[in-house]
A and B are shown apart, each in its own frame.
Chain A
Amino acid sequence: MAVCVRRNYRKERLFAVGLIFVLLGKAIIAMVAKGNQADFTELDKHFEGSVLSLMQKYCLDCHSTKRQKGELDLEQFAKLTDVRRAPKLWVKVVEMMTDEEMPPKKKPQLSAVERKVFLAWVENYLNAEALANEGDPGRVVLRRLSNAEYTYTIQDLTGVALEPTKEFPVDGAAGEGFMNVGDAMVMSPALVQKYLDAAKEVATHAVMTHDGIRFSLGRSRRDWADELIYEIRSIYNRHTSGTGATDKVYAWDPNALDRAMNTSGRVNLTPYFQALVDHRERLLKNPETAEVVAREEKLNTKYFQKLTELLTQKENPSLLLGQLRAELHGANPADVPGIAGDVTQWQGRLWSFGKVGQIGREGRASAWMNPVDSLTSSYELKLKLPANAKGEISVFLATGDAGDGGTNDFVRWSKPRLVLKDQPTIPLATANGLLARMSTLRRNELARTDKYLAVIAEARVQGQSIETFARGRGLNGKVLDNWVDAVQLAQFAVPKATGHYPGKIDKVGGYDDIRGWGLPATPSLIANKSTETIRFGTLTVPGRSVNMHPSPSLEAVIYWQSPMEGKIKLKGYFADSDSVGGNGAAWRVELLGDANTGTIAQGEFDNGKSGRFIPEQEYNIQRGDLLKLVVNARNRNHGYDTTEVALIITEQGGKKREWDLAKEVVDRVQESNPLADLFGNSKVWHFCSSTEELTTQATVPAGSTLAKWRLAVINRKPAAEIEKLAAAVQRVFAPKVGGVTGADEALRKQYTDSKGPLKWLHLALNGKILEDIEAKAPAILEYKLPGELVAGAEVVVNAALHPERGRNGTAQFLVSLIPPDAKAFLGQPMVTGADAGKKMQQAYADFRELFPSAMCHAQIVPVDEVVTMILYHREDEPLKRLMLSEDEADELDRLWDELYFVSQEPLLRVVSHEQLYEFATQDRKDLLSPLESLRISISKEAEAFREHLKKTEPIHFAAILDLAERAWRRPLTDTDRKDLHELYKTLRSKELTHERAIRLTLARVLTSPDFLYRLEKPGQKKVGRKWEQVSNLELANRLSYFLWSSMPDDELMQLMSVKKSVNDNLIAGQVKRMLRDPRIRRLAVEFACQWLDIREFNLDDGKNERLYPQFVNLRGYMYEESVRFFEELFRNDHSILDLLDADHAFLNESLAKHYGIRGVSGPQWRRVAGTRALGRGGILGMGTVLAKQSGASRTSPILRGNWVSETLLGERLPKPPANVPDLPETVPEGLTARQLIEKHSSEAACAKCHAKIDPYGFALEQYDAIGRLRSKTVDTKTKLMDGNSIEGLTGLREYLLNERREDVVRQFCKKLLGYALGREVGLSDKPLLDSMSEQLAKNDFRFSIAVETIIKSEQFRSIRNVAAKEN
């Protein structure tokens, strides 16, 4: 469109005034000279003479109403009013005339004067028409957001770099060639579907938090949580050492994990102490300077202030801190590491770390970092003595003064004692003489063994009580008791079956055939009467079998009480009847009787297995002896313990009877308990339970003299024989007896042992009580102990300060085998008296307060257990208290709240609890009970969280309203709110979750025409002026879509939504702000790059890859250079002439190399000055422009020239003629690109145009097809159409800047205006363009001037009335 008539033509015409039209023409030409002053009356006067007559003469032959050649009817224009109906057509007429396309060459031509006069009138007319409609906002079709605008708006709305339009169809351009013109913004069902999908996709990035909605690049809870963790860690890492991230630690490297755990979240104290010491004087003088020092030393201010407080405070701090302060006051810089080391050691002592993964479990630490009070009022010390101790050994009870002097350290060792398994406790103090006492007792009493045995034998034979016979014999009653127990001969020693099941059990598992005896739960005994194997539950009960089931603590027992006397043999087995699970069971067979007492067989079997017993031996039994079959749960691991048992007893002599447990019992089991046998003897079978007992040990070694004596007694041998044997027994015990047999050796060993059947130790201890020992620290007490007595024993003692005299004391205690030195007390608990304890505790607490071992649990995600229910563990109280500013602390709280909320941890915990429980059921039964105990609290928390979630639902909906208001770029109406709420409710009623309903509501906001279109309300007036000002809000939108291609930000929105009138200053202020904003880059891309035809050059595919393989790697850099150039120009408000004239370029190493510019290294971008001399700076030397306007394989002066002409100068070129001859793609041998073109352009048909455009291109020929400077100098001298001669890029630049500045500026203005308005620039915009050019010229061509002129213009601020004509 050539609205403006160019000055050079005007000059030319002024010289060519002819004679005929002198009078007529003068008036017209005078009007032209005056500029835009002509009015329509004047024009009307001259219409007939200067236009109509010439039209009739030269035009109407073809362009009559009848012929309408080229669909043009000029005959319709009989009057000025006719002309005014179609001003645009007259613009074309001027173009055709000035380009000398009309009248056609073959037809009669206008004389120079006629031409002059005709054009002058039309120009005048067009000027008048432009003025008449000056400021018309024009025909602006409703604009959809372009893909770019949509993307930017979504990004500004969400604050996240989403790319929702990636798969959208590419937008079209229209108007002045930009992609923001309503005409080219189409809509279709497919596109609506894409908008819906994109909106839903955007909505998946919405993160619903406890206090609203934010957006994230991620779409899963995991992503969102990770983002929050990252932010939380950033705060942690800002203040503490170690990265805190164990993410990169491999699970298989526990050491690495430990290292990470041990370093993260810590603070290195050395620099802090260093600063305290270095700046001590300054700080002491004025503690306020701590802030400055902290800044200088790059330390955390708050923490350093706290430490300074310690250094400078007037009152005395408690013990440990007091010591530290004293040290700091006196320290040299060189002492600092030592001091820091001490503090670290104390930290280690006063804090301990638990496993985060175990928090919440029964008996585990409730935190990661736990205070340790190595301070107690009393505690128990234990020392295990060596099992192989011999001779005399020493045990030391030592007391230290805990480093604070021993003045008040009166201590009490409470009940020091030796604990031996199955033995009486021995007071430590008595142990020393004990051995001697015991030896004497033993020697004396064993020396009268015969007397003891005699008493027993007589009592037995005569069937009377022992006491009767012992009386008056001077025997030790206790020793006699022990003898009776040992030989098991007295009447009272007859074994008895006890613990009979009290009740019957029937229909076990629902089967009539299975019955038995038992306690309601377990233990029990059942028998299967049928011959079938019966399976129920987890049980398999074989046909005709007897089964026992113990409880965890009770054994199941079957006794066979002998109805006979004589020899038997026996055999049988125990077998698991319940092989589903469990750990099998333990069993044993014991014989309890006169002749033999002891365990015949015992064993354990694993799940599903069995154990068998068939002793070779015959057993000699008496009437009433008991054979005992026992099953227990094996290590008390209860479950699946039902055990089948079989037993067959065979009488060896006499009647050769056989007792088969199964045969005897299965049919009659419930007849009675005890049950008679099948031979008619009553009370043979007993079904019982008993508490678990130790295996019965035989106390009389078989075959020994004592055993012989015992048999003799039982068999009522003659008294002499019995006495003789008793004497023989005594001889076995006599000292230094040789020739003792194996069995007697055992007898002797057992019966002289201090822990043996005769319980010598017990006897020797008789009457000794445990006593306390008092001492004053430091002190070491030594006890000498007999090795053989105390081997394997444990020394046990309680230690404390003396309750009265030690109240103010602090001491440490130690029990050891070697005399301890002072170092040995390190790490021992501090034991304090009642009053000292409080003081110490305070000292520790104060220390811990200031010196936590770790400031925070920086890894957040527990990694110290294989399975844990805790997802995120927060422990950062010290950090918050000691190091964080209020804002940071608030931010940290917010992040944690959000993490907790977003990850929905309480709900996840229910799941992980369940999983963990399942796991424990299989593999870790020990965890079941602790886990079970958590169940209620976990589900309560989950419930509470669900409640919380419910409460946040309205918050999210409110956030959607806020988003809608921003997305729609206008205040919401009540109807809007209601509608959105309706939709939300509808979606909920379709059983969508809150989250999905919110997301869909958001999708609806983003699919609405309010979002997708830039709606503006037209003026409603039907008469008067054709347009009205838009509202302030609409203006705000126009501003931000012009400058940012996106929605207005909050500031702009707020300012503009104030009801009162918005003045120009306010807007100008906003525009200045917006131009400086980084979002102005979008104007660089959407306006500048689009105008210069290099938008998305980074994807340009137009080069021959064989010739230019490097291009594909460079095109992105070239593009970035251009974008950065424009962005900087706009942001810093440079002259728009910099487009041509800049003496700088934006470069990185690769691009600089490509351009042949030295001294730029590294991939980062920088502004390089002084590039003009190197052929760069400004758009003419840009790789983008030079390459884009080249062919694939060679440069194209035509393309470049055409670009200069059309794009930079806004010249209109006529259409190329049909059947243009081809140009080869590659330059033929022996020619330059220029020569090739010159050959082509010399053809007459082409010459006219090419003469106009090619020279511009020739001037740029020094640059090759990808924008490199050619190494060889080529001819860039050229003569332009207007007669100017130029050479090279410099010549072209100077020409454009000087000779054609007005055209370049005007073209820039026209394009910017077209972009700003979203339409083609028209006739009525001419005065505005004039004003823009003028203002720019007056103001150093600063970019902002052009923008401001547009923004103040009527066009920009108005909209046509609803009734206005559409053209």
Chain B
Amino acid sequence: MLCGLGVTMALPWMESTRVWGDVSKSTKKASEAPTRMAILFAGCGFHKHEWWAKGQGKGMQLGKVLAPLSDFRDKMIFIRGLYNKEALKGNIHSSQTGNLLSGAPLASGGRIQSGTSVDQYVAQRIGRQNKVPSLVLGCEKANPGVHKNYSLLYSSHISWSSPNTPTPLEVYPALAFDRLFKNKAQVGDQSVLDAVLEDAKDLRRNISRLDQQKLDEYLNSVREVEQRIESAGKRGEVQGWRPTLTKPDMSRPKDGYPQDIVEHMRLMCDILVLAFQTDTTRICTLKLNNDHGTLRFPHIGVDYMIHHLLSHNDSDDWLKVNQFFLKQMAYIARRLDGIQEGERTLLDNTMLMLCSSMLTGHHDASQLPVVMLGGGGGRIKGGQNIDYLGKSDRQMSRLFLSMMDKMDIRPEIFGDADKPLQEI
């Protein structure tokens, strides 16, 4: 109810690596491939009757929505019953999405306040090992406006760099590609950034603390870009393990916004795979659509209505659209599984998690749809079907603690949880 102003992080977060005590020494050998984390998001939930799994392992039976994943049943964990308690307060799209990956309380009214999301939390701790700390992609532009007293910023962002800062998503494939592989900073960029950084430092002196915090976002962002330019080209010292690919094996996508959603999603999936394969980043979120989504799907004959409105009825078309989303996950998994990294495949070294902000299109966030593929670097056992519904500690953030554990990050508390899920 009464949302006091959260304490905005005073420490520039990009300088935070190793300052925090929750990064454990890796138990991995230097020659072993690193573990990657990818989170896929699909807004508005799934078909009411077709999101289910029965049994375990290879023999697991899957609802129609999940059918595209059937080849990967032995590398899959179907998780039922996790939820975000805070999301139930607003109980509408934006309030269910804005804290999906943090479990944090959301500010309503005119304010923006959530929590640092799990991907960014991890990126802030280990992301600097790679050229790009994390990749935040989307296949739909953000929504402006306020819905039911909650800013639609919440609906459009699952990644948050800080409690006040949703991480802008890249929706242009070409720009995402550039972010990963464009090395050549132009002569003079550095000088320009130096100069504006000085500006910001000067300006910071005479403004209120509130404004200082806001300006710090800028200051830190400029610094980060500078560092990126500085370290461009000189990859960190690689010990032992080397990625199977050092340069992109796909050409740079065309400039501009793809007209076709199939192409758009395919490009973004490819970029995700490429980012992992080249070890340009180890953390990626891909928001396949907005929670208040307006995508249409002409390629499967569902172009008469936008995604959000489709979700309100559990029709056959809705099922087709759901499957289309799951196919993206399957596509990524198949590609990752085709890349051999030592004894394991890249999929075995990855945690690929798909979730939504609600179970069905009826704003039911009392349990969230979650499915995970991949071995997490050999630390996750596939073929599981786990049901937390009805159990007491079924916070979504427990899953995040589990996932972070595989990345050797073990905070005592994350969101509203203090212990990982034992099964994972």
Contact = CB atoms under 8 A, between A and B. Distances in A.
Given A173-B144, A192-B218, A192-B225, 12 more contacts: A72-B1, A139-B210, A183-B110, A184-B153, A191-B168, A196-B189, A1009-B200, A1010-B199, A1101-B296, A1191-B309, A1192-B305, A1362-B209
A1015 B207 contact: yes
A171 B198 CA distance: 26
Given A1000-B191, A1003-B192, A174 B215 contact: no
A990 B188 contact: yes
A167 B175 contact: yes
Interface string A380-417: 00000000000000000000000000000000000000
A172 B188 contact: no
B10 interface: no
A88 B2 contact: yes
14 contacts: A71-B1, A169-B142, A170-B142, A172-B142, A172-B151, A177-B145, A191-B168, A196-B193, A1004-B196, A1009-B218, A1215-B91, A1215-B148, A1320-B110, A1366-B210
Contacts of B207: 142, 1015-1018, 1362
A189 B145 contact: no
Interface of B: 1-2, 4-5, 14, 90-92, 109-112, 136, 141-146, 148, 151-153, 156, 161, 164-172, 175, 179, 187-189, 191-193, 195-196, 198-200, 203, 206-211, 214-215, 217-218, 221-222, 224-225, 228, 257, 294, 296, 303-306, 309, 312-313, 362-364, 366
B304 A1192 contact: yes
Given A89-B1, A172-B153, A186-B166, A1225 B313 contact: yes
A652 B320 CA distance: 110
Nearest to B136: A190
Interface in A968-997: 979, 982-983, 986-987, 990, 992, 996-997
B152 A1192 contact: no
Counting chain A CB atoms within 10 Å of each CB, the highest count among B1, B199, B200 belongs to B199
Nearest to B167: A188
A1366 B309 contact: no
Interface stretch (A473-481, A944-952, A1103-1111): A1103-1111
A191 B222 CA distance: 9
A257 B123 CA distance: 67
Interface string A1189-1222: 0011100000000000000000000011011101
Would you list the 3 A-B pairs with minimal beta carbon distance, nearest first? A172-B153, A1320-B110, A175-B110
B228 A189 contact: yes
Contacts of A72: 1-2
Residue among A173, A1015, A1095 having the largest count of chain B Cβ atoms under 10 Å: A173
Contacts of B179: 190
Interface residues of A, number: 89
A887 B153 CA distance: 53
Given A196-B189, A987-B188, A990-B187, A171 B5 contact: no
B1 A92 contact: yes
Nearest to A1100: B294
Nearest to A197: B175
Interface string A159-174: 0000000010111111
Interface in A1147-1193: 1191-1193
A173 B152 contact: yes
Nearest to B142: A170
A1102 B196 CA distance: 42
Given A1-B109, A1101-B296, A1222 B1 contact: no
A179 B1 CA distance: 24
A827 interface: no
B144 A172 contact: yes
Given A172-B166, A1095-B144, A1193 B305 contact: yes
B309 A1102 contact: yes
A987 B190 CA distance: 10
A986 B194 CA distance: 11
B356 to A, nearest CB: 18
A1 B170 CA distance: 35
A1277 B153 CA distance: 39
Given A175-B110, A183-B112, A187-B221, A992 B188 contact: yes
A1152 B171 CA distance: 37
A524 interface: no
A1207 B166 CA distance: 27
Given A193-B225, A1222-B313, A996 B188 contact: yes
A510 interface: no
A177 B4 CA distance: 20
Contacts of A1314: 110
B417 to A, nearest CB: 18
A181 interface: yes
B221 A1008 contact: no
Contacts of A1124: none
Contacts of B161: 188
B312 A1222 contact: yes
Contact of B206 (A71, A188, A1017, A1193): A1017
Contacts of B214: 141-142, 144, 182, 185, 187, 1013
A170 B144 contact: yes
Contact of A1225 (B1, B196, B312): B312
Contacts of A175: 110
A1012 interface: yes
A1224 interface: yes
Interface in A67-92: 70-72, 86, 88-89, 92
B210 A1104 contact: no
Contacts of A1223: 312
Most buried by A among B136, B153, B200, B208: B208
Pick the most buried of B224, B305, B313, B362: most chain A CB atoms within 10 A of its CB: B305
A1233 to B, nearest CB: 15
A1093 interface: yes
B304 A1107 contact: yes
Interface in A1084-1120: 1090, 1093, 1095-1096, 1101-1102, 1104-1107
B223 to A, nearest CB: 8
A174 B153 CA distance: 9
Contacts of B209: 1362, 1366
Given A170-B144, A173-B146, A193-B225, A183 B111 contact: yes
Given A177-B146, A196-B193, A1220 B362 contact: yes
Contacts of B221: 187-189, 191-192
Contacts of A1000: 188-189, 191-192
Nearest to A170: B142
Contacts of B172: 167
Contacts of B206: 1017-1018
A174 B149 CA distance: 9
A1360 interface: yes
A185 B199 CA distance: 19
Given A174-B153, A177-B145, A1013 B218 contact: yes
B112 A174 contact: yes
A1219 B90 CA distance: 14
A1367 interface: yes
A1208 B371 CA distance: 43
Contact of A1104 (B166, B217, B304): B304
Nearest to A182: B214
Nearest to B202: A975
B188 A192 contact: no
A89 B312 CA distance: 35
A983 B169 CA distance: 32
Contacts of A529: none
A1038 to B, nearest CB: 15
Contacts of B228: 189
A1007 interface: yes
A1137 to B, nearest CB: 25
Contacts of B171: 169
A186 B163 CA distance: 11
A1319 interface: yes
